[in-house]
Structure 1
Amino acid sequence: MTDEQSQPAPTCTQGRLTDIQKTRVDFARRDWEYARSEDLGQLDAAGLILLVEKLRGRLGDVLEVVDEAFPQ
Protein backbone atom coordinates (compact mmCIF):
# COMPACT_ATOMS: atom_id res chain seq x y z
CA MET A 1 0.00 0.00 0.00
CA THR A 2 1.47 3.37 -1.01
CA ASP A 3 1.39 6.47 1.14
CA GLU A 4 -1.33 7.91 -1.08
CA GLN A 5 -3.57 4.90 -0.54
CA SER A 6 -3.01 4.77 3.21
CA GLN A 7 -4.01 8.38 3.79
CA PRO A 8 -7.67 8.96 4.58
CA ALA A 9 -9.68 10.96 2.08
CA PRO A 10 -9.89 14.65 2.99
CA THR A 11 -13.02 15.61 4.82
CA CYS A 12 -15.52 17.88 3.16
CA THR A 13 -14.88 21.53 3.97
CA GLN A 14 -18.14 22.80 2.56
CA GLY A 15 -19.25 25.66 4.75
CA ARG A 16 -15.84 25.83 6.43
CA LEU A 17 -14.15 28.28 4.10
CA THR A 18 -13.23 31.61 5.59
CA ASP A 19 -15.11 34.69 4.43
CA ILE A 20 -12.08 35.76 2.42
CA GLN A 21 -11.84 32.36 0.72
CA LYS A 22 -15.56 32.45 -0.09
CA THR A 23 -15.11 35.91 -1.59
CA ARG A 24 -12.18 34.74 -3.72
CA VAL A 25 -14.21 31.82 -5.06
CA ASP A 26 -17.19 34.12 -5.68
CA PHE A 27 -15.02 36.54 -7.70
CA ALA A 28 -13.74 33.62 -9.78
CA ARG A 29 -17.29 32.35 -10.32
CA ARG A 30 -18.46 35.81 -11.46
CA ASP A 31 -15.56 36.20 -13.86
CA TRP A 32 -16.24 32.71 -15.22
CA GLU A 33 -19.93 33.51 -15.79
CA TYR A 34 -18.99 36.80 -17.46
CA ALA A 35 -16.54 35.01 -19.76
CA ARG A 36 -19.13 32.38 -20.66
CA SER A 37 -21.67 35.06 -21.57
CA GLU A 38 -19.20 37.08 -23.63
CA ASP A 39 -19.39 36.76 -27.42
CA LEU A 40 -15.79 35.81 -28.08
CA GLY A 41 -16.22 36.40 -31.78
CA GLN A 42 -16.80 40.09 -31.10
CA LEU A 43 -13.65 40.60 -29.03
CA ASP A 44 -10.46 41.84 -30.63
CA ALA A 45 -7.11 40.19 -29.91
CA ALA A 46 -6.39 42.50 -26.98
CA GLY A 47 -9.79 41.78 -25.43
CA LEU A 48 -9.26 38.04 -25.73
CA ILE A 49 -5.83 38.31 -24.14
CA LEU A 50 -7.24 40.32 -21.24
CA LEU A 51 -10.04 37.81 -20.73
CA VAL A 52 -7.64 34.85 -20.74
CA GLU A 53 -5.28 36.61 -18.33
CA LYS A 54 -8.14 37.42 -15.96
CA LEU A 55 -9.34 33.81 -15.99
CA ARG A 56 -5.80 32.51 -15.55
CA GLY A 57 -5.38 34.69 -12.46
CA ARG A 58 -8.71 33.56 -11.04
CA LEU A 59 -7.84 29.90 -11.64
CA GLY A 60 -4.60 30.39 -9.73
CA ASP A 61 -6.48 32.07 -6.90
CA VAL A 62 -9.02 29.23 -6.64
CA LEU A 63 -6.23 26.66 -6.65
CA GLU A 64 -4.66 28.51 -3.73
CA VAL A 65 -7.99 28.30 -1.87
CA VAL A 66 -8.05 24.54 -2.54
CA ASP A 67 -4.50 24.23 -1.18
CA GLU A 68 -5.52 26.18 1.91
CA ALA A 69 -8.65 24.08 2.45
CA PHE A 70 -6.88 20.74 1.79
CA PRO A 71 -3.28 21.13 2.95
CA GLN A 72 -0.94 18.34 1.93
Structure 2
Amino acid sequence: MRVGWGDILERWSTVMVDLHEVYGADWDDPGLVRAWPWWRARIWGLLGSERSRLRRELTPPPATARRG
Protein backbone atom coordinates (compact mmCIF):
# COMPACT_ATOMS: atom_id res chain seq x y z
CA MET A 1 0.00 0.00 0.00
CA ARG A 2 1.25 3.44 -0.86
CA VAL A 3 0.80 5.98 1.94
CA GLY A 4 0.34 9.68 1.24
CA TRP A 5 -0.19 12.80 3.30
CA GLY A 6 -3.96 12.47 2.89
CA ASP A 7 -3.84 9.08 4.63
CA ILE A 8 -1.76 10.55 7.43
CA LEU A 9 -3.89 13.68 7.89
CA GLU A 10 -7.07 11.56 8.11
CA ARG A 11 -5.49 9.97 11.20
CA TRP A 12 -4.09 13.12 12.78
CA SER A 13 -5.20 12.23 16.31
CA THR A 14 -3.28 8.96 15.98
CA VAL A 15 -0.23 10.87 14.69
CA MET A 16 -0.30 13.18 17.73
CA VAL A 17 -0.49 10.26 20.17
CA ASP A 18 2.32 8.44 18.37
CA LEU A 19 4.56 11.52 18.28
CA HIS A 20 4.26 11.72 22.04
CA GLU A 21 4.65 8.01 22.78
CA VAL A 22 7.40 7.23 20.27
CA TYR A 23 9.42 10.48 20.33
CA GLY A 24 8.23 12.24 23.49
CA ALA A 25 7.23 15.19 21.29
CA ASP A 26 4.01 17.09 22.00
CA TRP A 27 2.71 18.90 18.92
CA ASP A 28 0.82 21.40 21.12
CA ASP A 29 3.73 22.26 23.44
CA PRO A 30 4.61 25.92 22.76
CA GLY A 31 8.09 25.29 24.17
CA LEU A 32 8.77 22.67 21.50
CA VAL A 33 9.13 24.86 18.46
CA ARG A 34 10.57 22.85 15.60
CA ALA A 35 10.92 23.42 11.89
CA TRP A 36 8.61 21.50 9.59
CA PRO A 37 11.40 19.17 8.28
CA TRP A 38 11.99 17.96 11.86
CA TRP A 39 8.29 17.10 12.28
CA ARG A 40 7.98 15.64 8.79
CA ALA A 41 10.89 13.25 9.40
CA ARG A 42 9.35 12.02 12.63
CA ILE A 43 5.88 11.62 11.15
CA TRP A 44 7.27 9.49 8.32
CA GLY A 45 9.41 7.68 10.89
CA LEU A 46 6.24 6.58 12.65
CA LEU A 47 5.51 4.34 9.67
CA GLY A 48 8.70 2.41 10.46
CA SER A 49 8.22 2.17 14.22
CA GLU A 50 6.99 -1.09 15.70
CA ARG A 51 5.29 0.92 18.50
CA SER A 52 3.34 3.17 16.13
CA ARG A 53 -0.44 3.02 15.94
CA LEU A 54 -0.23 4.87 12.63
CA ARG A 55 1.87 2.07 11.18
CA ARG A 56 -0.64 -0.53 12.34
CA GLU A 57 -3.53 1.46 10.84
CA LEU A 58 -1.87 2.06 7.48
CA THR A 59 0.12 -1.14 6.99
CA PRO A 60 -1.91 -4.22 6.21
CA PRO A 61 -0.97 -7.34 8.16
CA PRO A 62 1.21 -9.81 6.26
CA ALA A 63 -0.72 -12.44 4.34
CA THR A 64 -0.67 -15.84 5.95
CA ALA A 65 0.14 -18.81 3.82
CA ARG A 66 -2.70 -21.25 3.30
CA ARG A 67 -2.04 -24.80 4.18
CA GLY A 68 -3.86 -27.40 2.23
TM-score by length of 2: 0.32
TM-score by length of 1: 0.31
Between Structure 1 and Structure 2, the one with more helix by share is: 1
